[in-house]
Amino acid sequence: MKFRIAPRRAQTAAGLALAVLLTALPLERSGASVTGELVVADQLAGVALYGFDPVSYFIDGGARVGSGSFELSFDRLTWRFRSEANRAAFRAEPDAYVPRFGGYDPVALIRGVPVEGHPTIFAVHDGRLFLFHKPENRSAFLADPGGSIEAARTAWPTVRRSLVH
């Protein structure tokens, strides 16, 4: 795995772009879309998790937007972090912070559909991050996390192959 620290970008432009992207991020879709990435990302900017800091779910207990000042290139995507410490933690152990199933909703995966999870609808279970398309899916997952994870794990290889690489 290759890492590189992305160059510092203009804060105003990055902040404005992130605000526009977050307001455009849909919570509901009329159908499942298939993306070219195995990690949920802003496809136009190449930013993983739409700019949310994957470490913040564990450190802060919530979804926090990362900063253009703390970026890291990993797995062909740019990841943003709230601090140098968060970036360093991710660099040391990325698998601990990348959402399971690439951030695709595990409840939708059980149905065989690759639906992107929304970065603000999440759960951390057994030290792993899961993203969900809608709150109802999160509730269904939390009702039986072990069963949901096992069913999604079984479905994931088939769904993953359906994604455009």
Burial 37-70 (b: 16+ CB within 10 A, else e): bbbbbbeeeebbbbbbbbbbbbeeeebbbbbbbb
Give me the tens of pLDDT residue by residue for the chain, a chain 165 residues long.
545 555 444 343 444 344 434 434 433 333 333 333 488 988 888 899 999 999 999 999 999 999 999 999 998 899 999 999 999 999 999 999 999 999 999 999 999 999 999 999 999 999 999 999 999 999 999 999 999 999 999 999 999 988 865
Count H helices and E strands in the chain, helices first: 7, 6
pLDDT, residue 36, reads 36
Q: What is the pTM of this model?
A: 0.77
How many C-beta atoms lie closer than 10 Å to residue 144's C-beta?
11
pLDDT, residue 17, reads 41
DSSP 28-77: --SS----S-SS-EETTTTEEGGGB-TTHHHHTSS--B-EEEEEEEETTE
- Is 117 within 8 Å of 103 (Cβ atoms)? yes
Q: How far apart are CA 38 and CA 129, in angstroms?
A: 15
pLDDT, residue 159, reads 92
pLDDT, residue 165, reads 54
Domain boundaries, the chain: 11-162
Q: How far apart are CA 46 and CA 24, in angstroms?
A: 15
Sheet holding 77-81, edge to edge: 41-42, 47-48, 77-81, 67-74
What's the token pair of residue 151? Answer: 């069913």
